[in-house]
Amino acid sequence: MLDDAGLKALREAARLSPDNLPLRRHLAEQLLAKGYLADAEAEFRAALLLAPKDVDITAGLAEAFVRQSAHGAALAALEPLLATPGYPPRLGVLAARALLGEGETGKAGYRYHEAVSRDPSVADAELEGRLSAPPAPTIQPEPVPAAPAGDSAQGGAEVERSQFTFADVAGMEAVKEALRVKLLLPIQQPELFAAYGKRAGGGVLLYGPPGAGKTHLARAAAGELGASFVNVGLADILDMYVGSSERNLRATFDMARRNRPCVLFFDEVDALAARRSDMRQAHTRQLVNQFLAELDGVDPTANEGVLVLAATNAPWYIDVAFRRPGRFDQLVFVPPPDAAARAAILRILCRDKPLAEMDFDAVAKVTEQFVGADLKGLVDRAVEAKLQQSLAAGRPVPMSTPDLLAAAQGLRPTSVREWLATARNYVLHANESGAWDELMPWIKGKW
Ligand code: ADP
């Protein structure tokens, strides 16, 4: 480690050549090593401006934040990289430390467990001890009215009644049609299916960029069907203790079976269903095997009336065993919305608000690459501004097109382009079975 004179010389050198990235990174790392946390933070920030996606710099900045107990800032710095499939496991450990600092023990446990299962060398005994100290609190799903029964599995997932139907999902006609045939028709018109010798069953794997509406669609499918809805997040299943994750998974399936007809939705399923060859730890492989066993059911009627949907941003990580008949035998791409779909999403998001005449197409035009989640953020932002105006005026001031346009100005879309670039790497040379046909037009240059 440098002494203070060396550090001073390094600072001077960095001041003289501010665009020298390796030099700035080195200075930042030295400052961090010596515990000059605020200075390290400032240097990492400056370096990040030169190389916005640099993993080492992001990790350094996040560590500087964590050590200053700025856990939220650390998570914000890590977020873009954590959203990228296959992110470096050490970032997961940093995120776990930050999450623990925020009191999110369940999520922290998941991040840690996931990181160490991919690379055991990042294990951190001290952190592990802190993670397993108190029982992990569970993550609650979005606040949607619960079913009267109020059923819940020991892992934390709960039974909901969805207040959405397909009418609340803008665009995506092809996706809705695929789900209708797969999920709804066999239940709504069983005679027709029986006549053709087809049996209801098997799950659907929804994949696409983050925020494109996979969860919304699954919830709407439950509402459309009049079925209960169980939204299973990773933190509901993954547990630090060997064997507990399998138990949580079994309890979740059992809960869905008790509440049939039920749509059982697994978000971020790639972590539960990853290729077993990618897993270094035997107990993670056991979880995958347990998941396969639950999907198959102990007998052919075990999962009758339970429709399993799953979502992933990284379908290429899923073990092929999950794609066999009766499991996730249908892959459905949930695409980023085009201009017409964005206008339709905006219309849906604004429909209960006091509105002047709106030109949603104009807003759709300036929000290229925005996905549903981005558009929701935009509308929330415009509503907040309008609320303040209304409070000042003492009456509701209706929202208008310029309000949405203004809200759009400061916003950047999440990473659809990056997602498609990653998808291109994975699937372009691996589409022999035609599994990625729906995705092909998108990765071959539509964006
Ligand atoms: P994902 O599960 O793909 O990450 P979400 O389903 O969480 O994305 O989408 C985030 C939010 O964006 C939803 O809660 C919903 O409000 C909105 N949204 C996304 N797609 C649509 C759509 N097609 N129609 C209406 N709202 C949508």
CA of 298 to the centre of ligand 1 (A): 34
Distance CA 195, CA 159 (A): 33
CA dist 248 → 191, 244, 413 (Å): 36, 6, 35
| Tokens at 211, concatenated | 């925020």
Residue 309 Cβ < 6 Å to ligand 1: no
| Least confident residue range of 293-307, 360-374, 395-409 | 293-307
The letter for the amino acid at 55 is V
Query: Closest Cα partner for 139 from 309, 257, 267?
Result: 267
Edge-to-edge, what's the strand order for the sheet holding 204-207?
159-161, 228-232, 262-266, 306-312, 204-207, 330-333
Residues 314, 164: Cα–Cα separation, whole Å: 26
Q: Looking at residue 66, what is its pLDDT? A: 87
Higher pLDDT, 219 or 444: 219
Question: Is 25's C-beta closer than 6 angstroms to any atom of ligand 1?
Answer: no
How high is the pLDDT of residue 132? 74
Bond into 190 cis (ω within 30): no
d(CA 127, CA 74): 16
pLDDT single digits (tens) 267-290: 988 877 776 665 555 556 788 888
Ligand 1 pocket member 350 (CB < 6 A): no
pTM, 2 dp:
0.66
CA distance 116 to 123: 6
Comparing CA positions, the residue from 142, 115, 154 lying closest to residue 131 is: 115
pLDDT at position 360: 95
Query: Roughly how many angstroms between the first and final C-alpha of the chain, as a whole number?
Result: 47
Tell me: pLDDT of 435 over 50: yes
pLDDT for residue 216: 94
- The rounded mean pLDDT for the chain is 83
* Ligand 1 atom closest to residue 206's alpha carbon, by position in its atom list: 3
* pLDDT score of 160 more than 70: yes
Q: Is 211 touching ligand 1 by the criterion CB < 6 Å?
A: yes
Which of 263, 376, 378 maximizes ligand 1 atoms within 8 Å of its Cβ, making it the mutation to test the pocket?
376
pLDDT of residue 276: 63
Single-letter code of the amino acid located at 199: R
Confidence check: pLDDT of 4 > 80? no
Q: Could you give the count of Cα atoms lying within 13 Å of 237 in the half-sphere of its Cβ?
A: 25
List domains and CATH numbers for the chain. Answer: 5-131 (1.25.40.10), 159-332 (3.40.50.300), 339-408 (1.10.8.60), 416-446 (no CATH)
**Confidence check: pLDDT of 316 > 90:** no
pLDDT of amino acid 198:
59
Residue 197: per-residue pLDDT: 61
CA distance 420 to 417: 5
Q: Could you tell me what percent of the chain has a pLDDT over 70?
A: 89
pLDDT at 214: 94
269 lines ligand 1 (CB under 6 A): no
Check if 218 has its Cβ closer than 6 Å to any atom of ligand 1: no
Q: What is the mean pLDDT of residues 56-70?
A: 89
Reported as a pLDDT band with limits 50, 70 and 90, residue 362 is: very high
Least confident range of 94-98, 154-158, 364-368: 154-158
Q: For the segment 106-139, what is each residue's pLDDT rounded down to a tens digit?
A: 788 888 888 888 888 898 888 888 887 644 333 3
* Residue whose token pair is 């509701």: 396
Does residue 256 have a pLDDT over 70? yes
- For ligand 1, the distance from its centroid to the CA atom of residue 308, given in whole angstroms, is 19
Instruction: Give the phi and the psi of residue 348 in degrees, each rounded to 5.
Output: -65, -45
Q: Write out pLDDT tens, residues 324-347.
A: 888 888 889 999 998 999 999 999
Tens digits of per-residue pLDDT, 193-236? Answer: 667 665 556 789 999 998 999 999 999 999 988 889 999 988 78
Closest residue CA from atom 4 of ligand 1: 211
- Ligand 1 pocket residue status of 256, Cβ below 6 Å: no
* pLDDT mean over 423-433: 79
Dump pLDDT digits (tens) for 174-194.
888 888 877 777 767 777 766
pLDDT at 141 over 60: no
Which amino acid is present at 324? R
Q: State the pLDDT at residue 74.
A: 87
Tracing tokens 């347990």 back to the chain, one arrives at 290
| Distance (Å, whole) CA 330 – CA 177 | 13
pLDDT of residue 240: 65
Contact (CB, 8 A) for 270 and 310:
no
Contact 61, 95 (CB under 8 A): no
Ligand 1 atom showing the smallest separation from residue 344 Cα: 24
The DSSP code sequence of 278-329 is G---HHHHHHHHHHHHHHH-SSTTTTTTEEEEEEES-GGGB-GGGGSTTSS-
Cβ–ligand 1 contact at 171 (below 6 Å): yes
